[in-house]
Copies of this chain bind each other. A is one copy, B any other.
Amino acid sequence: MPLLTADAKGVYPISVTPFHPDGRVDFDSLDRVTEFYLSKGATGLTILGMMGEAPKLTQTESRDVAARVIARAGVPVVVGVSAPGLAAITELSAAVMDMGAAGVMIAPPGGVRTDAQISTYFSQAVQAVGDGVPVVLQDYPLATGVQIDPGTIRCIVDALPQIVMLKHEDWPGLAKITALRKAEAAGGRRISILCGNGGLFLPEELGRGADGAMTGFAYPEMLTQVVALCQADQPERAQDIFDAYLPLVRYEQQPGAGLAVRKYVLAKRGAIASEAQRNPGASLPPDAQAEVERMIARLERRLAELG
């Protein structure tokens, strides 16, 4: 499988990790949800992200999940390898690149604060994954507590050619995309920018120069359609589609609680066998289920109206 490059575009869904109700990884559902993402037009896949319950897996399970998805996907697979220590990053990164991963994704640990600490961390992390391994810098302050200035991202990108992509998940973050693209226009090395946050700002992000989405949403076809329509210069149609899904996007984008929504809908759609999360994690309560069902019914009506 080719390695990830700074030219990457499109939609890389953040895959859920399916579990059996007793907590074991459900590898059959992993196959099924992989096919599901591909059938909805995914350009690539990202596994072992935060919303993939990666920290709940043992290292052995992480490798097994990666092996299964990489073997099946046939598209570039990015693997989240963030860990409290560099040795664990080296170990997992080496394993998944051997399996044929397209690259690895790394978020900074919560303790780094100053620009210098952030830059130093990514130097060490890139050294830890080893020469030639493409790295995605995950910028997700709401989850990590680390705020990265656009200027600091530029410094890191200039210093570390292995960083080929930004997983952009700052909030608010539109001005950051604009600042980064401006810096590139002024001569900086171009990187790919794929956006997260469940797609909540996807139309605006694409308008600011993002290359697509790397995020989870129980209807990945929304992400692929919006990206395709924007690239085909049909922004109004893209926005109509987006707006139809927006009530559900917003509802799924509740920190923590959103994963139960996502897995409920994916199970309902047949993409996974069970909505189970590995402990700790909750199933969707009945009142929330009713809210989701109502939104889905409204979504279907609205999509029918839009034709």
Contacts and interface: CB of A to CB of B under 8 A. Distances in A.
Interface of A: 55-59, 61, 84-88, 91, 110, 113-117, 120-121, 124, 147-149, 151-152, 171-172, 174-175, 178, 200-201, 204, 207-208, 239, 242-243, 246-247, 250-251, 254-258, 278-280, 285, 287-288, 291, 298
A87 B291 CA distance: 32
A258 to B, nearest CB: 8
Contacts of A57: 85, 87
6 contacts: A59-B88, A113-B113, A239-B298, A243-B243, A243-B247, A246-B250
A85 B116 CA distance: 28
Contact of A172 (B55, B148, B204, B255): B255
Per assembly, the copies of the chain total 4
A149 to B, nearest CB: 4
A282 to B, nearest CB: 9
A116 B256 CA distance: 16
A271 to B, nearest CB: 23
A247 B239 CA distance: 10
Nearest to A89: B58
B254 A149 contact: no
Contacts of A56: 85-87
B254 A171 contact: yes
Interface centre among A116, A204, A256 (most CB of B within 10 A): A204
Contacts of A257: 172, 174-175
Sort A-B residue pairs by CB-CB distance and give the 6 closest, nearest first: A172-B254, A55-B84, A56-B85, A172-B257, A113-B147, A114-B149
A59 B59 CA distance: 8
Nearest to A282: B175
Contact of A175 (B86, B148, B172, B285): B285
A174 B58 contact: no
Given A114-B147, A151-B116, A250-B200, A256 B172 contact: yes
Contacts of A251: 201, 204
A156 B246 CA distance: 36
Given A255-B171, A255-B172, A247 B246 contact: yes
A11 to B, nearest CB: 20
A215 to B, nearest CB: 15
A121 B280 CA distance: 9
